[in-house]
């Protein structure tokens, strides 16, 4: 029989043995680690030319590619472009687009950056890449005059999605004119494969004329300082990714959006109406959040969002600071094709009148206002135009926009609208009772919903007269009697 003393000696021995074993295992584990070299020590074996793409497209994934010496050729171009129908703006660009060309790298790449300032440009520029570890993110080494080229190199140390921008004084002005874009640093082995990838970047613009004021619009330094944006847009212009330019996908596909915010001032509450982000790489870094409705993208920041599309339809990208979406342009579209899936979404199943028990209200109370005394003399055209302009700003502006130009793919134009000019009764009807279903305006198809506008006969007459007597329309004078005739 063992004594108690012997027993405890035995277990103490076993305890020490176990401790030593654990230490040995840990040591061997750590000594195997050097394979995961520090990013700065990753060796590059080959030299390759980077493929750059214009938004909304991105270069092919890096996949299993080894770290390389990656040559980026970026050309700065100052050029006139269109902000929205009839509104021109002089953009300063990296690669001829806003946002600038997308750069796709992987951790450990040695990027050899060639920054070229086109000889026709008027100003010097440079580039600050948030993916760079070094003074100014490259800005100091890349300052380049028109007709010159600068070359500098950097090693990509941290995986993530990064903003780049010009940082030449006045910095705010260079960014406000469109000098920003995204550079992606993929982790070793690449990001998980998906079916579709797109590049979207928000920016705010400040013009001398207010939203929609036609003509070549100069940059307004004062509005920029006051942070009073006239335009807040995705990919540099109103409608850049809507209508015919919408992003596309098919039911069942997984979509990844690389979303940046160039600012210069505003942060984006990025949201996709009718979808939930399955994954968000928060702030473009390594932390992944799941099941997100709206993600905040700081000025000078980015996020990667991923989602699977389950049902067909048009999904609207917005900055959920929502006046920016409907009044300043921050609206894009993802059109998803494929078969309906009623398990996920039914569509309207029933539509009928809702009459609460005991209710005596049979019609909208405002409809009563349609019964106006007939002895009121009609207003003059001038009076109608003044009142109509006011009504337009209150009721129609949000969708049809300040100069009746509409928003491509979402709200049809009232300016020079063939639909409007062809049939005044039909147009009055649209305002009285709303309009749904497919219509064609100036050759473009719209299939959306305009709600009825709850206006009196006189108000409809005035606002329609205003619309008909502006923006190249046929100058019809609409009277309250004409509106009354359309009431059913
Ligand atoms: Cu610049």
Same CATH fold assignment for domains 40-191 and 197-337? yes
Q: Which CATH class is domain 197-337?
A: mainly beta
Q: How many angstroms separate the alpha carbon of residue 213 from the centre of ligand 1? A: 26
For residues 239 and 358, give the distance between their C-alpha atoms in angstroms, rounded to a whole number.
Answer: 48
Say if residue 400 carries a ligand binding annotation.
no
For residues 220 and 176, give the distance between their C-alpha atoms in angstroms, rounded to a whole number.
Answer: 10
The confidence score (pLDDT) of residue 402 equals: 83
Q: Which alpha helices (H) appear in 64-184, and where do they start and end?
A: 139-142, 171-176
Chain segment 265-291, per-residue pLDDT in tens: 999 999 999 999 999 999 999 999 999
Say if residue 228 carries a ligand binding annotation.
no
pTM (whole model) above 0.75 = no
Say if residue 174 carries a ligand binding annotation.
yes
- Tokens representing 184 are 């992606």
The confidence score (pLDDT) of residue 407 equals: 84
The confidence score (pLDDT) of residue 299 equals: 98
Chain segment 354-365, per-residue pLDDT in tens: 666 554 444 444
**151-186 residues labelled b (16+ CB within 10 A) or e (exposed):** ebebbbeebbbbbbbbbbeebbbbbbbbbbbbbbbb
Say if residue 165 carries a ligand binding annotation.
yes
Q: How many angstroms separate the alpha carbon of residue 175 from the centre of ligand 1? A: 7
- Tokens representing 208 are 């001398």
Q: Give residues with Cβ within 8 angstroms of 3, minimum separation 6.
A: none
Q: Which CATH superfamily is domain 362-366+376-487 in?
A: Cytochrome c-like domain (1.10.760.10)
Q: How many angstroms separate the alpha carbon of residue 193 from the centre of ligand 1? A: 35
Please enumerate, as own/partner, the contacts of 167-173 that have beta carbons within 8 Å and a separation of 24 or more.
167/126, 167/127, 167/128, 167/136, 167/137, 167/139, 168/123, 168/124, 168/125, 168/126, 168/139, 168/143, 170/221, 172/224, 172/225, 172/264, 173/219, 173/221, 173/224
Say if residue 320 carries a ligand binding annotation.
yes
Put the strands of the sheet holding 277-281 in their side by side order.
Answer: 231-234, 196-205, 254-263, 301-308, 277-281, 288-292
Q: How far apart are the first and last CA of the chain?
A: 108
Q: Give residues with Cβ within 8 angstroms of 65, minimum separation 6.
A: 106, 190
Please answer whether residues 244 and 278 qualify as being in contact, where contact means their C-beta atoms are separated by less than 8 angstroms.
Answer: no
Q: What is the DSSP letter of 122?
A: -
Q: How many angstroms separate the alpha carbon of residue 270 from the centre of ligand 1? A: 26
Residue of 91, 97, 262, 232 whose CA lies nearest to 163: 262
Q: How many angstroms separate the alpha carbon of residue 92 from the centre of ligand 1? A: 7
Chain centroid to CA 444: how far? 23
For residues 135 and 327, give the distance between their C-alpha atoms in angstroms, rounded to a whole number.
Answer: 39
The confidence score (pLDDT) of residue 441 equals: 96
Please enumerate, as own/partner, the contacts of 165-170 that have beta carbons within 8 Å and a separation of 24 or more.
165/127, 165/128, 165/262, 165/300, 166/76, 166/92, 166/94, 166/125, 166/126, 166/127, 166/128, 167/126, 167/127, 167/128, 167/136, 167/137, 167/139, 168/123, 168/124, 168/125, 168/126, 168/139, 168/143, 170/221
For residues 81 and 391, give the distance between their C-alpha atoms in angstroms, rounded to a whole number.
Answer: 32
Q: How many angstroms separate the alpha carbon of residue 75 from the centre of ligand 1? A: 12
Residue of 162, 166, 158, 116 whose CA lies nearest to 139: 166
Q: Which sequence spans correspond to the domains of the chain?
A: 40-191, 197-337, 362-366+376-487
Q: How many angstroms separate the alpha carbon of residue 147 from the centre of ligand 1? A: 14
Q: Which CATH superfamily is domain 40-191 in?
A: Cupredoxins -  blue copper proteins (2.60.40.420)
Q: Give residues with Cβ within 8 angstroms of 260, minimum separation 6.
A: 99, 161, 163, 180, 181, 182, 200, 201, 202, 297, 301, 302
- Tokens representing 115 are 């920054």
- Tokens representing 250 are 């098919």
Q: How many angstroms separate the alpha carbon of residue 329 from the centre of ligand 1? A: 24
Spans of the chain below 50 pLDDT: 1, 34, 359-373
Q: How many angstroms separate the alpha carbon of residue 170 from the centre of ligand 1? A: 9
3-state SS string over 33-77? Answer: HHHCCCHHHCCCCCEEECCCECCCCCCCCCCCCCCCEEEEEEEEE
∠ at Cα 270 (398, 168), nearest 5°?
95
Residues in the chain, overall count? 488
Strand partners, 106: 186
For residues 158 and 161, give the distance between their C-alpha atoms in angstroms, rounded to a whole number.
Answer: 9
Say if residue 387 carries a ligand binding annotation.
no
Q: How many angstroms separate the alpha carbon of residue 259 from the centre of ligand 1? A: 21
- Tokens representing 434 are 């709303």
For residues 137 and 165, give the distance between their C-alpha atoms in angstroms, rounded to a whole number.
Answer: 10
Q: At what angle do helices 424-433 and 457-468 cross, to 10 degrees?
A: 130
């Amino acid at each position: 029989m063992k004594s108690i003393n012997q027993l405890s000696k035995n277990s103490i021995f076993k305890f020490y043995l176990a401790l030593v074993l654990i230490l040995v295992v840990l040591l061997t584990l750590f000594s195997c680690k050097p394979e995961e070299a520090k990013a700065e020590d990753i060796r590059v074996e080959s030299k390759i030319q980077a493929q750059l793409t214009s938004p909304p497209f991105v270069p092919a994934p890096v996949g299993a590619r080894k770290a390389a010496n990656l040559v980026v050729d970026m050309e700065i171009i100052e050029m006139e472009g269109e902000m929205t129908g009839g509104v021109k703006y002089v953009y300063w660009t990296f690669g001829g687009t806003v946002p600038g060309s997308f750069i796709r790298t992987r951790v450990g790449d040695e990027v050899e950056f060639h920054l070229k300032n086109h000889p026709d440009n008027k100003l010097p520029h440079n580039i600050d890449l948030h993916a760079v570890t070094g003074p100014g993110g490259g800005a100091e080494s890349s300052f380049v005059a028109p007709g010159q080229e600068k070359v500098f190199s950097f090693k990509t140390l941290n995986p993530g999605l990064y903003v780049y921008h010009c940082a030449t004084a006045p910095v705010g002005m260079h960014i406000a004119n469109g000098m920003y874009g995204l550079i992606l640093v993929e982790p070793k082995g690449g990001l998980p494969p998906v079916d579709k990838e797109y590049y979207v970047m928000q920016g705010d613009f400040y013009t001398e004329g207010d939203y929609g004021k036609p003509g070549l619009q100069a940059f307004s330094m004062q509005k920029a300082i006051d942070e009073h944006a006239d335009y807040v847009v995705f990919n540099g212009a109103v409608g850049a990714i809507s209508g015919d330019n919408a992003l596309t996908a098919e039911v069942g596909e997984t979509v990844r959006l690389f979303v940046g915010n160039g600012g210069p001032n505003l942060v984006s509450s990025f949201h996709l109406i009718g979808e939930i982000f399955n994954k968000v790489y928060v702030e473009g870094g390594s932390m992944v959040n799941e099941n997100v409705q709206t993600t905040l993208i700081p000025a000078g920041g980015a996020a990667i969002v991923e989602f699977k599309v389950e049902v067909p339809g048009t999904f609207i990208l917005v900055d959920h600071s929502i006046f920016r979406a409907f009044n300043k342009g921050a609206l894009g579209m993802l059109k998803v094709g494929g078969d309906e899936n009623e398990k996920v979404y039914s569509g309207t199943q029933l539509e009928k009148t809702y009459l609460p028990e005991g209710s005596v209200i049979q019609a909208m109370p405002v409809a009563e206002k349609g019964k106006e005394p007939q002895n009121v003399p009609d207003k003059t055209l001038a009076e109608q135009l003044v009142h109509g302009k006011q009504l337009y700003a209150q009721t129609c502006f949000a969708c049809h926009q300040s100069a009746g130009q509409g928003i491509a793919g979402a709200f049809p134009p009232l300016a020079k609208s063939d639909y409007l000019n062809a049939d005044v009764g039909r147009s009055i009807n649209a305002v009285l009772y709303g309009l749904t279903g497919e219509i064609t305006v100036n050759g473009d198809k719209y299939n959306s919903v305009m709600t009825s506008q709850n206006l009196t006969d006189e108000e409809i007459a005035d606002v329609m007269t205003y619309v008909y007597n502006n923006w190249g329309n046929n100058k019809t004078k609409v009277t309250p009697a004409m509106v009354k005739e359309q009431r059913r």
